[in-house]
Structure 1
Amino acid sequence: MIPIYKPYMPEKIGDVVTEILYSGQLGYGNYGRNFESKLKSFVGCEFILSVSSYNVGMQIVLSTLGLQLGDEVIASPVSCLASNQPFAVKGLRVVWADVNALTGTMCPDYVRSKITKNTKAIFHNHFCGYLGNIDEINAIGKEFGIPVIDDGIEAFASRYKGKRLGNVGTDITVFSFQTVRLPNTIDGGAIVFKDKTLYEKALLIRDYGIDRTIFRTSNGEINPKCDIKIEGFAGLISELNSYIGIRQMEDIEKLLGIQHDNALVWNKKFENTDSMHSLVITSESIPNYWVYGTLCKNKIEAIKDFKQSGLYATGVHINNNVYSVFNNKIHLKGVEAFMKYFVAIPCGWWFNNK
């Protein structure tokens, strides 16, 4: 059966991997900085930092924004649990936004209706690599002075108005490089900032709040004059993970091209079908086609039929507003309709769609 996800790994990396393992330099260093440089060039951004995992990246974002226990954030329940679990860890109040039942993307009007004086951030998830209404959500954030965070956990390399996500005018963007993503660093991620001040704050938070330029004295001892003023995490990505990321970035355009070609084939196959159709794509956007999204009249039967034909099909995620950890089991009409019909099928680099 053709899998819905598959980890990519470049060939012939063993020699350098062995070299890194015995180099005495395993923590963040030259490979880490090189990886960030490649990410900057690809995304088209200036302020980007790599992190050891997507979860750590989200925690860094929450700390950088100064979010505190009880603060409200608006988020989509149509997303990976990994996107929303950090809110529970931080003790934030999650206000769920409804979605467009044809696209799975946050409804701008609904987001606007949920803004209060306690709203501190809007987390805009781009479900399975399909981008939402970026300009509209960003405009709402700007109008109310609320930061908008593009949650690109599954959307690295997706495009909006010809630009990669991370370079579309949003305040902050978070990416995952976990095993089934492109690129994958086995585990890892990245954060993009539009604002240099927030970026510089996040650099400290990524490394326990330490300013490494003054952390040690000339004789190598910890400098007592280097004060730690903010909370921080062990968020630095290793040299091994960074090297794998570098090698993956060398191949990413080719891999994305295969996924796009596979999607074109699916588009034609679903043009004249009554029982299912392709997921609607928001205006001026191009998904990364991590998966290919469909809407099926009978989801259970469609998944069964796809699997019988040799294609692994799945709903991917369950809407997060059903989980009691978020203490907000709200009824959302668009969310329920979308989840009732959404089915993802393979579109990845690992197969030739004919």
Structure 2
Amino acid sequence: MKIDFAKLPEAYSEHENEIKEAALEVMSSARYILGKETVDFENNLAGFVGCKYALGCSSGTDALLLAMMALGIKAGDEIITSPFTFIATAETIACLGAIPVFVDIEEGTYNIDPGNIETAITERTKAIMPVSLYGQPSGMDEINAIAAKHGLAVIEDGAQSFGALYKGKRSGNLSTVGCTSFFPAKPLGCFGDGGAVFTDDEVLYEKMKAMRVHGQVARYTHKYIGMGGRLDNLQAAILDVKLKYYENDIQRRQQVASAYNENLKNSDLILPVVADDRSSVWAQYTVRIKKREMVQEILSQAGIPTAVHYPIPLHLQECFEYLGYSAGDFPITEAFSKEVMSLPMNPYLDQNEIKYITDQLIKITKE
């Protein structure tokens, strides 16, 4: 048996006729940038997330940049975040000349540990950027309370958690501003690059809206230094079709995760943990395992792809050497980065495929 990690073709074929119709409407109308499709999608996004305002962006990376620019983050400012995430989280901070300040993660959720944040705050700290890793939000109540105490903004990097719940509220609507990604392999993926920002703050919304079009508030009238960060109409139209069915996709992802949990509950693997007050959309199903590379190779030979999110923590990346961190600074992150392994995860995995994956994995780990 050969397993497809993400099954992206099915994400198209399941709604092929509707997607074709929506895409052809954009192309025949020649409304490619900031047209009706984008406005409709943004309104539907805001309704789904439960916030007042949503803006489509050209990528999840640009969503983070846009949020920080609108919040006035500048060179020398510090933003506290996790070292256990994709590089875009800290890269965007550095692109503005600001300084990523890392703190270690929790053992259970792999998200930033709120208990480590306050000691990292200095007079230069301007924001906290928790990452909703692998599909579930961080402990946002604790993080928001710390931020309020010190007068800081909170920017949720929800690139992997769009649709997840924290105490009944959606990821993206949990802080000053939320950001997400619609990269094709994300739980809600477009057919190229895309992302979004969310907020209840009208002033911040209007500023981000202008900044994503080069700071323009009227034609050729530029109030801010901005960027070309728009979501194109074609991607908005495709995403709007998929958004109608996304709640069902989340449920199917959760069913896949439940089947993994049941099949692997007596194995030697350390399984993912979802906190009681939140849900996950399972961007990844990530276990921890010893002798990871050997296990990956044997699984690959059996037709089972795996991935590692993420093998080198950000504080140990060459591009961040200038920050002065060393091995040993964040022991939980460093230990887990050597053990995490993501199994195939998508809404289309059937029970036979899941059983094949888990049987092979148990067989390897018992040998």
Per the TM superposition, whether the score is higher than 0.5 is yes
SS in 2 for 1:121: strand
Residues 1-354 of structure 1 aligned to structure 2 (within 5 Å): 1-7=2-8, 8-9=11-12, 10-12=15-17, 13-168=19-174, 170-185=175-190, 186-212=192-218, 215=219, 226=221, 228-273=222-267, 275-318=268-311, 319-326=313-320, 327-328=322-323, 329-330=325-326, 331-354=329-352
CA distance in 2, matches of 1:23, 1:310: 44
Mean Cα deviation higher: 1-10 or 47-56: 1-10
1:181 counterpart letter in structure 2: K
2:339 counterpart letter in structure 1: Y
CA distance in 1, matches of 2:96, 2:134: 25
Partner of 2:361: none
1:179 counterpart letter in structure 2: P
- Assess if the C-alpha contact under 8 Å between 1:48 and 1:192 holds in 2: yes
CA distance in 1, matches of 2:111, 2:243: 28
2:183 counterpart letter in structure 1: Q
Q: Deviations over 1:214-261 (max 9, x none)?
A: x3xxxxxx6xxx4x2211111221111110111111221222121111
**1:167, CA displacement in angstroms?**
2.5
SS in 1 for 2:47: helix
Q: Percent identity?
A: 27
In structure 1, the gaps of 5 or more residues are 216-221
CA distance in 2, matches of 1:194, 1:239: 24
CA distance in 2, matches of 1:342, 1:102: 12
Mean Cα deviation higher: 174-183 or 299-308: 299-308
CA distance in 1, matches of 2:302, 2:166: 34
- Assess if the C-alpha contact under 8 Å between 2:173 and 2:199 holds in 1: no
SS in 1 for 2:198: strand
- Assess if the C-alpha contact under 8 Å between 1:71 and 1:119 holds in 2: yes
CA distance in 2, matches of 1:266, 1:160: 23
- Assess if the C-alpha contact under 8 Å between 2:104 and 2:332 holds in 1: yes
1:300 counterpart letter in structure 2: E
SS in 2 for 1:120: strand
Task: Identify if the C-alpha distance between structure 1 residues 234 and 243 changes in structure 2 by more than 3 Å, giving closer, same or farther.
Answer: same
Larger relative helix fraction: 2
1:91 counterpart letter in structure 2: G
SS in 2 for 1:39: helix
Q: Deviations over 1:301-328 (max 9, x none)?
A: 3333443443322212232112232223
Q: Deviations over 1:258-294 (max 9, x none)?
A: 1111111111112212x21211222311110122121
2:290 counterpart letter in structure 1: K
SS in 1 for 2:245: helix
- Assess if the C-alpha contact under 8 Å between 1:99 and 1:105 holds in 2: yes
1:2 counterpart letter in structure 2: I
Partner of 1:218: none
CA distance in 2, matches of 1:260, 1:141: 32
1:335 counterpart letter in structure 2: T
RMSD: 1.7
- Assess if the C-alpha contact under 8 Å between 2:22 and 2:238 holds in 1: no
**1:95, CA displacement in angstroms?**
0.9
1:152 counterpart letter in structure 2: G
